[in-house]
Chains A and B, each alone.
Chain A
Amino acid sequence: MTRSASTRSASARSTGADPLVVDDVHVALGGREVVRGVSLAVHPSEFVVLLGSNGSGKTTLMRAAMGVIPIAAGQVRLFGTPLRRFRDRQRIGYVPQRSTAAAGVPSTVREVVMSGRLSRRPHAGRSSRDDRSAVAEAIALVDLEDYATQPAAELSGGQQQRVMLARGLASRPDLLVLDEPTAGVDARSQVALAELFGRLLGEGRAIFMVAHELGPFEPMIDRAVVLRSGKVSYDGPCTGGDLAAASEPHNQHHPHLVEPGPHVGIDGTGAWGA
């Protein structure tokens, strides 16, 4: 399988600004302070997981760090640039939590994934050959080639989640930001997702993932940050009793998911479940 977190971060960590730095950030939703002074960092080619129970503020923090909702106080830096002035949007692959890729009008998987290229071409114009090949590549990474011309809304929940992932990968980002990508995804697809993450990390890309449970990702995670009531209650390696104490129900170990079967791969060998 993939190299473990420790060997990878020692060998593949590139120099350069940290993809994500959150410094004493406060976020209020409807007048209530949901995130209360959180600081954390994702270093180059690092895999950081943000854990916490429902209502702990983890999704709110992630959305604020991406500029989707306003920050009340504190600062976010993306690749060294303050969020407000950050323009290299193609360096970020954003995969919001989504139960469905459906909108009011049918759109094919390829059309949805193509919108992931907009950060590279924010203004008018036709898609270039590079756009089209990046989209095909992203669809292949999540093993949905056979579904490229199908309406995204007609796919299963897990497949729709992979459409969102492919859209996030389409700009070939240096930082992948995901909100619970494993929610409602079967065990086989989780393992395939872990394989894909391993490959991305090996290429020197960083991953910041909001999660409920670690599942098959555990061996490749560099750091886990646990939020409780809008504050960081733990920041460190994801093995050991400290994490267990900080996040009781969410670090369940799934030994049967860590070892993939002999045919697991991401190149069309049917690694992904339905």
Chain B
Amino acid sequence: MNDILTYDFMQRALVAAIVTGLTAPAIGTYLVQRRLALLGDGIGHIALTGVAAGLLTGTQPLVTAVVVSILGAVAIELLRTYGRTSGDVALALLFYGGIAGGVLLVNLAGGSAAQLNSYLFGSILSVSPSDLVIVAVLGAVVLLLSVGLSPQLFAVCQDEEHARVSGVPVQAYGILIAVLAAVTVTVSMRTVGLLLVSALMVVPVAAAQQLTRSFRGTFVLAMGIGTFAALAGVLGSYEIDTQPGPTIVIVALGIFLALAPVGHLVRSTRRRLSSTNDPVEEAA
């Protein structure tokens, strides 16, 4: 166990895992609160086109993926706000266009199935030193904004209408959330992969909610669970020779399954206690 930590690629993979484990659930908490849990999934699909564009043009795929997924995320947010016809269908067009276009372009660029696979499900061997710098910088920006602007982001996700009347620039913050989600997707691309990144945005939040009662508590615990799952997943994938993405997600789901009955028990006990203390029930 100790000797694998001395490998350079493993050290880079673990740092990337920590960044992913912190950022994905942080932005994921806002997405879940806004009932946009699957937004990350859609952005992941679109990001693949960005990766392919990088491979085709000989640019670093991480950079093109960031650019394309930010454009896609802003388009999704605008479609959501102004979409006259079914926003659902418009989103589906964008998502499937993204993944089909991405695979097509990777094929045209002469990319192998293994290479494509590494983008879709992560690959611990593939985090280059220059990747790591980009991941760390972008991850720090996401964390800084999602913590620093949490009162505003919370208000917008909790009740858009009230936030608007309070003078909060709702649309700007909506776009910011989408952009942060897009950046997080690309930051997580090497670790969990584009197809599973959304799971790391949602599953730790769902697991944390089993125990927490406040937004802040959920936010912090989800980041803790996400970091643990990402680290355990990366190390586990090396030990049992699997891809990191699925391994991380299975660890996160395992935590959720372990916490769900505990949360159920805690909630029902609490309800029983509060109903004996306060026998007056809602009449209306």
Contacts and interface: CB of A to CB of B under 8 A. Distances in A.
A107 B209 contact: no
16 contacts: A67-B164, A89-B166, A96-B159, A98-B159, A103-B158, A104-B37, A105-B209, A105-B218, A107-B33, A111-B154, A119-B167, A122-B167, A122-B168, A127-B151, A149-B214, A151-B214
Interface of B: 29, 32-35, 37, 148-149, 151-152, 154-155, 157-159, 161-169, 205, 209, 212-216, 218, 278, 280-284
B162 A115 contact: yes
A143 to B, nearest CB: 13
Q: Is the interface of A mostly helix, strand, loop or mixed?
A: loop
Given A273-B280, A274-B281, A103 B216 contact: no
A106 B157 CA distance: 12
A171 B154 CA distance: 17
A103 B151 contact: no
A114 interface: yes
Interface residues of A, number: 41
A124 B213 contact: no
A257 to B, nearest CB: 14
B278 to A, nearest CB: 7
A118 B29 contact: no
Interface string A121-143: 11110010000000000000000
A185 B284 contact: yes
A150 interface: yes
B166 A94 contact: yes
B32 A104 contact: yes
Nearest to A96: B161
A66 B37 contact: no
Nearest to A123: B152
A68 interface: yes
Nearest to A153: B213
A89 B162 CA distance: 11
Contacts of A121: 151
Nearest to A131: B151
Contacts of A119: 166-168
A203 to B, nearest CB: 21
Contact of A112 (B158, B168, B212, B283): B158
A55 B283 CA distance: 27
B33 A103 contact: yes
A151 B213 contact: yes
B157 A103 contact: yes
Contacts of A106: 209, 212-215, 218
A68 B151 CA distance: 20
Nearest to A182: B284
A96 B161 CA distance: 8
Contacts of A111: 154, 214-216
Contacts of B32: 104-105
4 interchain residue pairs of minimum CB distance: A89-B167, A156-B282, A115-B155, A119-B166
Q: Which of A104, A106, A158 has the most CB of B within 10 A?
A: A104
A68 B162 CA distance: 9
A108 interface: yes
A151 B151 CA distance: 17
Contacts of B149: 124
A87 B169 CA distance: 12
A175 B207 CA distance: 41
Contacts of A181: none
Contacts of B168: 118-119, 122
A103 B165 CA distance: 19
Nearest to A89: B167
A13 B273 CA distance: 48
A103 to B, nearest CB: 5
A75 B266 CA distance: 53
Contacts of A186: 282-284
A126 to B, nearest CB: 8
Contacts of A66: 165
B6 to A, nearest CB: 40
Contacts of A157: 282, 284
Contact of B162 (A87, A167, A274): A167
A118 B155 contact: yes
Contacts of B216: 111
Given A105-B205, A105-B215, 20 more contacts: A89-B165, A89-B166, A103-B34, A103-B158, A105-B33, A106-B209, A107-B215, A115-B158, A116-B166, A118-B151, A118-B152, A118-B168, A122-B169, A151-B214, A186-B283, A273-B282, A274-B278, A274-B280, A274-B281, A274-B283
